[in-house]
């Protein structure tokens, strides 16, 4: 088994399950042209996020870490009429690329990009006493995952689904001695999760077009 084979198998399944989509392709092309890092979710992962959003009947979605808005577009397309998506992004350049992608996709009116540190964005959302979100996708800096998860819980209701990306890090997550800030963030998150009565969670390791990684899915049981 090797990454090229994982990518080939992804392409095989995608051919049968994921329609060609010029708007999504254009979002990736615009992100590459602006020299954003190529770390967006894969097509299969984007579709999975969209299906999760539909499974929980999401009308309000929160994303932490926009980049060029590729995952955002997958999620936004799950929204019913009147649905809303808020996405938090540190880098104004990333936010600008994302906004242009949303406008081109015709979903700019559903999506609010808030620029600044996500910790600040989460605190602001809580202070605004906005309605809770139905699905939260955590995909910004990995060092702060525990704080983002706590922030997401404060903006959740019973039944909210919280998806945390990139928790496996090519298996590095099991290295208790790791100096990697991302690994340390994931490990702090796992320690918090072990004592967290408000959610029921599981983690799935993944291989595919994005190599070896994985995500945690947490469903809110009580608030
Ligand atoms: N969700 C995107 C990928 C996000 S990549 C997709 O799958 O298409 C991670 C993003 O988080 C980057 O754009 C990065 O600038 C942003 N980020 C990093 N640190 C952040 C912080 N402290 N607050 C908000 N966003 C942050
Ligand atoms: C990184 C971030 C991501 O969101 C991702 O999906 C893959 C890698 C990173 O920061 O390295
Ligand atoms: Mg990610």
| pLDDT digit string, tens, across residues 162-177 | 999 999 999 999 999 9
- Distance (angstroms) between ligand 2 centre and the Cα of 118 equals 16
| Atom of ligand 1 minimally distant from the CA of 67 | 13
Q: Is the CB of 90 under 6 A from ligand 1?
A: yes
Query: Coil, helix or strand for 69?
Result: coil
The answer, yes or no, to whether residue 154 has pLDDT greater than 80, is yes
Share of the chain above pLDDT 90, in %: 99
Which ligand 2 atom lies nearest to the CA of residue 139?
Answer: 4
pLDDT of 182 strictly over 80: yes
pLDDT score of 141: 98
How far, in Å, CA of 72 to CA of 63, rounded?
7
How far is the C-alpha of 130 from the C-alpha of 155, rounded, in Å?
8
Helices within 58-180 (DSSP H only): 70-76, 92-105, 118-127, 145-154
Alpha carbon dihedral 85, 89, 91, 97, in 10-degree steps, equals -20
Ligand located closest to 92 CA: 1
- Which residue, by CA, sits nearest to atom 5 of ligand 2? 39
Model confidence at 1, in pLDDT bands (50, 70, 90)?
confident
Closest residue by CA, ligand 2 atom 6? 39
Question: Ligand 1: distance of its center to the CA of 139 in Å?
Answer: 6
Q: How many CB atoms lie within 10 A of CB 75?
A: 27
Report the C-alpha gap between 219 and 141 in whole angstroms.
22
Judge whether residue 223 has pLDDT over 90.
no
Residue 46: both structure tokens together: 């984007």
Structure tokens at 106: 């015709």
Using CA positions, which residue lies closest to atom 9 of ligand 2? 39
* pLDDT band, very low/low/confident/very high, at 186 (cuts 50, 70, 90): very high
Q: How would residue 27 be classed by pLDDT, with cut points 50, 70 and 90? A: very high
Tens of pLDDT, residue by residue over 73-123, are 999 999 999 999 999 999 999 999 999 999 999 999 999 999 999 999 999
Q: Are 101 and 27 in contact (CB under 8 A)?
A: yes
What integer is the mean pLDDT of 30-54? Answer: 98
SS3 of the chain: helix, strand, coil, percent, to 5: 50, 25, 30
Separation of 177 CA from ligand 1 center, angstroms? Answer: 25
Distances from the Cα of 17 to the Cα of 10, 47, 75, 77, 154, angstroms: 10, 9, 17, 16, 35
DSSP 83: -
pLDDT at 127: 98
For the cut 80, the answer to whether the pLDDT of residue 219 exceeds it is yes
Q: How far is the CA of 165 from the centre of ligand 2 (A)?
A: 8
β-strand pairing of 111-115 with 133-138: unpaired
Q: Is the CB of 91 under 6 A from ligand 1?
A: yes
> What mean pLDDT is reported for the chain?
97
Distance 153 CA to ligand 2 centre (A): 22
Q: Which two tokens stand for residue 188?
A: 């702090």
């Amino acid at each position: 088994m090797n990454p090229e084979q994982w990518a080939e198998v992804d392409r095989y399944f995608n051919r049968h399950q994921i329609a060609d989509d010029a708007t999504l392709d254009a979002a990736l092309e615009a992100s590459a042209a602006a020299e954003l890092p190529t770390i967006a979710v894969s097509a299969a992962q984007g579709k999975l996020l969209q299906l999760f959003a539909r499974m929980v009947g999401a009308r309000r979605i929160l994303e932490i870490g926009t980049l060029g808005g590729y995952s955002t577009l997958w999620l936004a397309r799950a929204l019913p009429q009147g649905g809303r998506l808020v996405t938090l992004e540190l880098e104004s350049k990333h936010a600008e690329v994302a906004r242009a992608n949303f406008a081109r996709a015709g979903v700019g009116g559903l999506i609010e990009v808030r620029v600044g540190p996500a910790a600040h964005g989460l605190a602001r959302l809580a202070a605004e006493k906005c309605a809770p979100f139905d699905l939260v996708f955590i995909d910004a800096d990995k060092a702060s995952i525990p704080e983002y998860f706590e922030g997401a819980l404060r903006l959740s209701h019973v039944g909210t689904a919280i998806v945390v990306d990139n928790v496996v890090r090519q298996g590095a997550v099991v290295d208790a001695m790791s100096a990697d800030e991302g690994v340390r963030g994931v490990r702090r998150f796992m320690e918090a999760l072990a004592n967290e009565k408000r959610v029921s969670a599981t983690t799935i390791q993944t291989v595919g077009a994005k190599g070896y990684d994985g995500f945690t899915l947490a469903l809110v049981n009580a608030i």
